[in-house]
Amino acid sequence: MAHRRLDPGPLVIASHNPGKVREIGALLGPFGVEPVSAGELGLPEPEETEATFIGNAELKARAAAIASGKPALADDSGLSVDALDGAPGIYSARWGGEAKDFDLAMRKVHERMTAADSDSLAAHFTCALSLAWPDGHAETFEGKVFGTIVWPPRGSRGFGYDPIFQRDGDDISFAEMDPDEKHAISHRAAAFDQLVRACLKR
Ligand code: IMP
């Protein structure tokens, strides 16, 4: 199926996180895209009510595109642990609580895995990226990176669940990895590659 292509010009980044807006802007700059943040435009943050990463990314991208009248890009990501039937999954950010305390969230993963029936340490990160237009059309891509949960947490680089995730074939956690190296092989990079090939490369 043919993908809809994004013309050069303004693109709303449907995130209120300035770090994310900067990072996405830098990745898309070479394609003539002018990033504008949803925060700057005063757009409301919709509630993430869908049951999948793709569903929530599309919901956020469509809401921003329709409210602003411009194309909009949103992402949704998280950690899924096999022994926990995919938890925390779409609730990854919420496991950190109001204080976004990921030491707490990582302990919760460890405690639940210790109590689980399965001995599996397998886990993966997922990133869904959705590009939507004001007419409601959306192009959505999903990237994954597979690995295992390590305990205790290791390393201080990165964010979120990075200290307890080790990619298959590596012997260091994501939080021990050089950030540039992580960005090149992450679930987010995999989703971006697909988006660029389908909607941006001339
Ligand atoms: P979102 O901003 O709603 O997509 O929240 C995603 C949550 O998933 C983040 O708060 C992190 O806890 C977790 N997460 C997503 N990607 C990564 C990653 O690359 N490393 C560590 N944690 C991640």
Give the domains, in start order, of the chain with CATH numbers: 9-200 (3.90.950.10)
Q: Would the CB of 77 count as within 6 Å of ligand 1?
A: yes
The catalytic residue among 75, 76, 103, 135 is: 76
Q: Has 75 been annotated as catalytic?
A: no
Contact 70, 36 (CB under 8 A): yes
- Mean pLDDT, consecutive 10-residue stretches, the chain (202 aa), reads 91 86 82 90 92 97 96 96 98 95 97 97 98 97 98 95 98 95 93 95 76
Q: Hey, whose CA ends up nearest to atom 23 of ligand 1? A: 160
Determine which helix (DSSP H) or strand (DSSP E) holds 21, and give its type and residue range: helix 18-28
Q: Hey, whose CA ends up nearest to atom 8 of ligand 1? A: 78
Quote the ligand 1 centre to 107 CA distance (angstroms).
Answer: 16
pLDDT at position 82 is 98
Quote the ligand 1 centre to 71 CA distance (angstroms).
Answer: 24
C-alpha dihedral sign at 178, 183, 185, 186: positive
- Please state the atom number of ligand 1 nearest to the C-alpha of residue 88: 8
What is the rounded distance in angstroms from the CA atom of residue 40 to the CA atom of residue 27? 19
Quote the ligand 1 centre to 18 CA distance (angstroms).
Answer: 15
What is the rounded distance in angstroms from the CA atom of residue 132 to the CA atom of residue 70? 9
* CA-based nearest residue to 56, from 104, 105, 1, 15: 15
Quote the ligand 1 centre to 77 CA distance (angstroms).
Answer: 5
Residue 162, CA atoms < 13 Å, CB-side half-sphere: 16
pLDDT at position 19 is 76
pLDDT at position 16 is 80
Contacts of 45 (CB under 8 A, 6+ apart): 16, 38, 60
- The SS3 assignment for 100 reads coil
* CA-based nearest residue to 146, from 57, 53, 56, 80: 80
